[in-house]
Amino acid sequence: MKFPPFTTEHDIFRKSVRDFCEKEIKPHVDEWEREGIFPREIFTEMGKLGFLGIRFPEKYGGSGLDWWYTACFIEELPRSMCAGVPLSIMAHTDMATPIINAIGTEEQKQEYLAPAIKGEKIAAICITEPGAGSDVAGIRTTAKKVGNEYVINGSKTFITNGTRADFLMMAAKTKSEARHEGISLFLFPTDVKGYSVTRKLDKLGNRSSDTAELAFEDCRIPARCLLGEENMGFLYAMKNFQGERLVAALSATAGSQLAMEETFRYVHEREAFGKPLAKFQVVRHKFADMATRIEACRALTYHSVNLYNDGIECTKEVSMAKIFGAEMSQFVVDTCLQLHGGYGYIEEYYICRAYRDIRLMPIGGGATEVMKEIVSRLMGV
């Protein structure tokens, strides 16, 4: 068996994603980075091209494909020449919506998943709170059942797509005194009275992706918005995180590859002491170091994709890939910026943006410290 099992069909799909990123996103990135958001039409256009429902059933507008098509999709998104737009897209496709397909009712899939696949509704995953990030069990937002409704009170922060999401896949406490065993998940429509975007956050990087703080004040949603079983939300969320972290590892690998390629061109054009930078041994050795780490990360990540695609338990491997991808990508981008010298510190060069963007990798989707705790526990340490 060829590994990774990319076929001609995968290659055609990959090219279609790259073409879209280079033609429809890349030319506008500077403007969208300044504005802190990109047009909603990007979602609808990607929906028309089948990019937002790769693994979802055709019944809901998806393509019913495997994880290797997702790998192609994620690996080409960096061709946008920013991480912000891809982050918003990935939050929609691989963080907020997969769990609807996994445990949602038929009614929920028709109401939320189908329009999300078309890009008609924008989704956000809504778990983190001002006092609870990595400690998901510590969330304080409550959902109290009153008749045939849930009344939600609390706040959330660091919510990608938060300023314009049409619905949230959110976690709230249905047993306020409990921790893990008291969390439930809900599909929350953002046109509900009492809901508000309290602040759009100004970030170090990923600037074209909108990030918000949200408030819920006596928000009433129908009981049918409960996703899965009550008080089972923590387990659902932990399972959903595996796909999110796998996507992060794929993104880190592809983004690092792109940064290295851009720097490779730069060191062949830039001269110092009468010759191109690429002619210096110290520079060549830095590329050997970067390429080695990228390939090692790609191998570990593809191994994890293979296991996950086949339905094999791989929490340890996915967590390892997230750890290694985060550390590798920071090393690569930092090395690339150093090779650019003073120009790497100037905003007009891509590597400057990449340096700001990549710092999120060891924080978002599960901090590296949490990933290491997961791996060590699964090792029996």
CB 136, CB 237: distance < 8 Å: yes
**Given 244, 262, 271, 348, which residue is catalytic?**
244
Report the DSSP pairing between strands 275-276 and 271-272. antiparallel
Amino acid symbol at 48: K
CB 81, CB 29: distance < 8 Å: yes
Q: Which two tokens stand for residue 350?
A: 């891509």
Task: Estimate the share of the chain in helix, then strand, then coil, as percent rounded to the nearest 5.
Answer: 55, 15, 30
Active site residue 244: yes
> What are the angstrom distances between the C-alpha of 152 and each of 97, 145, 168, 230, 285?
21, 9, 13, 14, 56
DSSP state of 78: G
Amino acid symbol at 281: Q
Burial (CB < 10 A; 0-12, 13-18, 19+), residue 344, is buried
Amino acid symbol at 33: E
> Closest Cα to residue 99, out of 55, 65, 63?
55
SS3 state of residue 172: strand
CB 359, CB 205: distance < 8 Å: yes
SS3 state of residue 372: helix
Query: Residue 329: which residues within 8 A CB-CB, separation 6 or more?
Result: 252, 253, 255, 256, 358, 361
363 — phi, psi (to 5°)? -110, -55
CB 339, CB 267: distance < 8 Å: yes
Residue whose tokens read 């304080």 = 140
141/213 Cα distance (integer angstroms): 13
End-to-end CA, the chain: 35
**Catalytic residue positions?**
244
